[in-house]
Amino acid sequence: MPAAIEVRGLCKQFGTVKAVVDLDFEVSSGRVTGFLGPNGSGKTTTLRILLGLVSSNAGVATFNGRRYLDLDDPVHHVGSVLEATSFHPTRRAEDHLKTVALAAGIPAGRVAETLELVGLSDVARRRVGKFSLGMRQRLQLATALLGDPEVLILDEPSNGLDPQGIQWLRSFIRHQASLGHAVLVSSHLLAEMEETVDDVVIVSQGRLVLQTTLLDLANRSGSSSGLRIRSPELDRLGSLLEGIPVAYRQVASDTLVIDRATPEWFGPFAAKNQIVLYEVTHERSSLEDVFLDLTQGYEAPVPGAPA
Amino acid sequence: MIASIRSEWLKLRTTAVPWVLAVIAAAVTGLLIVTVFVNGGRGPAGGPGGGPDQRLGTGAVLHTTQQLRNLAGAGISADLFALLLGVLCVTTEFRHKTVTLSLLVNPHRPRMVAAKIVTTALLSIVLAVILLAVTVTGGGIALSAQGGSFTNLLHQVPAVAPGMIVVFALFGVLGVGVGSLITNQVAALIVCLGWFLIVEQIIQGIWNGTTRWLPTGAAAAAANVTRGRGVHVALFNWWEGSLLMLAYGLAFAFLGSAILMRRDVT
Ligand SMILES: Nc1ncnc2c1ncn2[C@@H]1O[C@H](COP(=O)(O)OP(=O)(O)OP(=O)(O)O)[C@@H](O)[C@H]1O
Ligand SMILES: [Mg+2]
């Protein structure tokens, strides 16, 4: 059975800019997939190609094996929230949804239903031009949900949402996955997605860096933890460490870091050797550090930064 | 298709576009009625299909058939508003990026253009009818005040209405065609107004005899469905003119769709 979303060998070039380079990944039903990468890494471009808005130079992007353009009733299969807001400012929220409902043959009652779902019922008759960023984002979500699609594509959906909004979005996304729907959510922050996603697709400069499960990513971060030790007896500690197979490095005149060590091992070791300690810190690298590590070196140069 | 047309109409009517255009077109028509009276029944200056000069003394009552036809059909001079309606129907979507959503709902781009063509043509016909109502009411009141016959004016409506309806619908189609080719709103408006107000005059000035081939000439010919606007030897007959107008509109729409197919919507 084809994957809910499948991207194979996708390439896109804008003039001289290679926005997407030979990208491959899959998204499964019933799971939330985080599409992660720094600014300008080609996330939005990839999603727009998936949705038939941007043409690709090579490769395919399909939903259950069919291109978006070939879907009979696209909004009934795929709901999308895209980055650039597309609202007419004088149009009322309700009418905005009705334009889609009319064209897609969705019953009018569904409009009020989705407004309720995203918490916009009270402002249904207000003009979208007067909406805050977060309200627009909710309206975009309502638009995506109109056709009750089994695939959701969300490009940075938490943009402009307040903490409650983000919390609400998380549970919303989890709920969608629990219904068996496939959800692809882009973000440039892994931290924001940690509690939401099952799988991650990490891209940088348009290329796939890694596709894996969040669990696997978490294991990678656990394995790269270390101990930071401040002591007046660094010389003696250093010579003791030479005798055992651990990697360590001195980072300040009174501080060294031992890679992949745990306090459970180091505590007894220090006691046995009677080393004076001022401070021991267990440093776990966070998922965010792993993410930064993985996308490092690929990162686009920051404008104005010294070369 | 009906679903798409209803959606297009909802999109349009929830913007200021159709309302502002209708109000200005009605105001322009009102001014033209005044002109007809001041000129003593001569067709509005510059308007396509202006009738032969039948000038009477200012203030004389309009009574000949041609004079009354010119009055009843004064709204035809506002035909460019149908063109603007078509242009704005497309370019407003690009300006506010709502085209992204429209394409998500209906990813088949030529079909989107087709829906806009049909919707705009229908609305342009409605605009023509509104302007007819404005001329009949406004002109009728003025005529009655001068002691003329309102009934005689009413009798001229069947003579001018078909021409107006055809011309407005065709200008609507042309507008959508131009808008889908030039999606930038400001650029499209400048090109349209520049063409009809300046470029065509220059072309006609340089090459005499091109008039019948230009959109304005074709529209003027199309307006003569019932020979209601007088016969112009320099122009095609009404159905030739209509076909030419339609050809212009569809050519732009095809070209626009073809380019739209390849355009990245970002
Ligand atoms: N229409 C376009 N014309 C030219 N270049 C473009 C266009 N759209 C995107 N790009 C370029 O393609 C690259 C990828 O952009 P894209 O918007 O896909 O990144 P992103 O991962 O979504 O970034 P962000 O996290 O900032 O949203 C960038 O270098 C961008 O400048
Ligand atoms: Mg983006």
Domain housing A261: 225-284
Which residues make beta-bridge pairs with A213? Answer: A199
Minimal-distance CA residue of chain A relative to B100: A86
Q: Which two tokens stand for residue B89?
A: 């129907």
Residues A153 and A65 in one domain: yes
Measured CA to CA in angstroms, residue A64 lies from A29, A34, A52 at distances of: 10, 19, 15
- Residue of A10, A23, A36, A41 best suited for mutating to test ligand 1, as the one with most atoms within 8 Å of CB: A41
Rounded distance, CA A137 to CA A160, Å? 7
Whether residue B266 has its Cβ less than 6 Å from ligand 1 = yes
pLDDT of residue B61: 66
Q: What is the pLDDT along chain B (266 residues), one digit of tens a residue?
A: 899 999 999 999 999 999 999 999 999 999 888 887 776 655 554 444 444 444 444 445 677 777 788 888 888 888 899 999 999 999 999 999 999 999 999 999 999 999 999 999 999 999 999 999 999 998 888 888 887 788 888 888 888 888 899 999 999 999 999 999 999 999 999 999 999 888 988 888 888 778 888 888 888 888 876 654 444 557 788 888 889 989 998 999 899 899 988 899 98
CA distance A149 to chain B (A): 12
Number of domains into which chain A is organized: 2
Give the end-to-end CA distance of chain A in Å, rounded to a whole number: 48
Give the mean model confidence (pLDDT) for residues A37-58: 94
| ipTM, two decimals | 0.84
One-letter identity of residue B138: G
Residues A66 and A169 in one domain: yes
- Residue of A10, A11, A13, A14 best suited for mutating to test ligand 1, as the one with most atoms within 8 Å of CB: A14
Residue A174 lies in a domain: yes
Residues A19 and A64 in one domain: yes
CA distance B50 to chain A (A): 39
| Ligand 1 center from residue A14 Cα (angstroms) | 9
Q: Which two tokens stand for residue B23?
A: 């109000």
Rounded distance, CA B86 to CA A98, Å? 22
Whether residue A14 has its Cβ less than 6 Å from ligand 1 = yes
Residues A67 and A155 in one domain: yes
More confident residue, A272 or B235: A272
Q: Which two tokens stand for residue A32?
A: 């939330």
Residues A166 and A208 in one domain: yes
Probe site for chain B from A12, A45, A53, A55 (most B CB atoms < 10 A): A53
Residue A277 lies in a domain: yes
Residues A208 and A255 in one domain: no
Residue A118 lies in a domain: no
Give the mean model confidence (pLDDT) for residues A138-147: 94
Residues A39 and A59 in one domain: yes
pLDDT of residue B50: 41
Residues A56 and A176 in one domain: yes
Minimal-distance CA residue of chain B relative to A80: B104
Q: Which helix (H) or strand (E) holds A257?
A: strand A255-259
pLDDT of residue A67: 96
Residue A56 lies in a domain: yes
pLDDT of residue A301: 44
- Using CA positions, which residue lies closest to atom 16 of ligand 1? A42
CA distance A264 to chain B (A): 54
Q: Which two tokens stand for residue B181?
A: 């080719």
Residue A97 lies in a domain: no
- Decide which of A170, A203, A220 is a domain's last residue: A220
Residues A38 and A160 in one domain: yes
Whether residue A151 has its Cβ less than 6 Å from ligand 1 = no
Q: What is the CATH number of the domain that holds A177?
A: 3.40.50.300
Rounded distance, CA A25 to CA A163, Å? 31
pLDDT of residue B147: 79
Minimal-distance CA residue of chain B relative to A100: B105
pLDDT of residue B96: 93
Number of neighbouring beta carbons within 10 Å of residue A124: 18
Rama region for A3: left / alpha / beta (φ>0; ψ in -120 to 50; rest): beta
- Residues of chain A with Cβ-Cβ distance to B14 below 8 Å are 88, 90-92, 95, 99
Residues A172 and A70 in one domain: yes
Residues A65 and A160 in one domain: yes
Closest CA to A279 of A301, A252, A298, A297: A252
Q: Is the predicted pLDDT of residue A85 greater than 80, yes or no?
A: no
Q: Which residues surround ligand 2, an ion (CB under 5 A)?
A: A 43-44, 83
In this structure, which ligand is nearest to the CA of A40? Answer: 1
| Ligand 1 center from residue A144 Cα (angstroms) | 22
